[in-house]
Amino acid sequence: AAAFGFVVGISFPVVITPKLQYGGMMPWSSSSGAANSSFLDMSILGRLWPPSSPNLTNSAFAEVATARNPEEGAERRLPPGIVVSETDLHLRRLWGSPTQDSATRKYLLALAVGYDEKANVDATIQKFSDNFDIVLFHYDGRTTEWDEVFEWSKEVAHVSARKQTKWWFAKRFLHPSIVAPYDYIFLWDEDLGVENFTAEAYLDIVRKHGLEISQPGLDATNGTTNYDITIKRNDSEIHKTDAARESCRDVHKPPCSGFVEVMAPVFSRDAWRCVWHMIQNDFVHAWGLDSNIWRCVHDPEEQIGIVDAQYLVHHAVPTLQGQGEKEKEGGRSEVRARQFEEMRAFRSRVSDADDELFCKLTKKGSG
């Protein structure tokens, strides 16, 4: 058989056209060849890739082949109709017709989790309907155990990377093109009490009040709070400002308005596209991000708010900090030191970016 193959190979040598991409000879080449070269180009194309449709003549094929995708990037080499620039986190079957797969859900819940908090994570999952796709970001490397305890675990996406934060995962796995199908993205911690929360009812309120970025209020009587504005109020469905409190220095600035914390934010698709671009790739804790999310909506004082009618308890479990040992590298004190260092660096980068933009706009205006 080997000898026969060798004989066939030398008896019918393959003719390879040299320099096929030279001088504009391919339809996606950026070179502008002479008009009389188009016939030669399409002659080669016709031999290599004949028209797939019997109704497509050589001249029509030439016109289609030379059409360019207006989008920047290597995908411009493809006919626009085959380009798929967005995806999702919906699980699909290995069998059956793709046309009969279940549809991508309307919303997305993303949770950073460790197996030790499985009971609380399960309680949270139960508050989200079948309208949600779910992805779990595992920071402890334990993934398969979840399937053994929870049936729902077999129907959600799992991403694992040891000792990484929610924002590290979000930057890498929640790119706007990945979450594009979802109207809202819940990016939550694992240590939230959800006894007084239901996701669908929450979104009804968010839509009613036109909130692009939001979070559930926090019960100050049970759990921890860091900012007065996030504390649940008993006399309102939502609130957008903390103007009534003495601690509020400027009602028009965070954290008095246009502010949510990073532990349980909810973003519209459009707002998340902006926020994702503000997450720094080399930072993992996102400290300082909450004071700048106002940049990602048109009217921060109206489009960012706290939902009081659906509220949470923040248990403040020191998960990632607790994984380290005090006397070893990566312990709690060193994690906290990095959080503060990142916050200072982020503020500096934002300030520098603002200054740079201001200078450009000033020069443009004076020119």
Q: Which is more confidently placed, 244 or 239?
A: 239
75 and 111 co-located in one domain: no
Residue 367 lies in a domain: no
User: Which residues are registered as beta bridge partners of 243?
Assistant: none
What are 92-150's pLDDT values in tens digits? 999 999 999 999 999 999 999 999 999 999 999 999 999 999 999 999 999 999 999 99
What are 215-242's pLDDT values in tens digits? 999 999 998 999 999 999 999 999 999 8
Q: Of 43-57, 92-106, 161-175, which range is least confident?
A: 43-57
Burial class (CB in 10 A: 0-12, 13-18, 19+), 277: exposed
- Residue 68 — pLDDT band, cuts 50, 70, 90? low
Q: Pseudo-torsion of CA 140, 146, 148, 150, nearest 10°?
A: 160
112 and 220 co-located in one domain: yes
Residue 71 lies in a domain: yes
Residue closest to 131 by CA, chosen among 206, 209, 184? 184
> Has residue 154 got a pLDDT over 90?
yes
> Has residue 88 got a pLDDT over 80?
yes
Q: How many domains does the chain have?
A: 2
Parent domain of 343:
107-351
- What is the CATH classification number for the domain harbouring 301? 3.90.550
254 and 303 co-located in one domain: yes
- Per-residue pLDDT, 37: 44
> Has residue 336 got a pLDDT over 50?
yes
Burial class (CB in 10 A: 0-12, 13-18, 19+), 134: buried
> Has residue 71 got a pLDDT over 90?
no
User: What is the arithmetic mean of pLDDT over 40-54?
Assistant: 44
Neighbours of 287 (CB within 10 A): 20
Residue 58 lies in a domain: yes
- Per-residue pLDDT, 328: 63
Q: Which residue has the tokens 């080997």?
A: 2
- Per-residue pLDDT, 317: 85
Residue 97 lies in a domain: no
What are 9-34's pLDDT values in tens digits? 433 344 333 333 333 433 334 444 44
272 and 214 co-located in one domain: yes
User: What is the arithmetic mean of pLDDT over 168-180?
Assistant: 98
Residues in the chain, overall count: 367
Q: Of all residues in the chain, what percent are helix, strand and coil, respectively (each to 5)?
A: 40, 15, 45
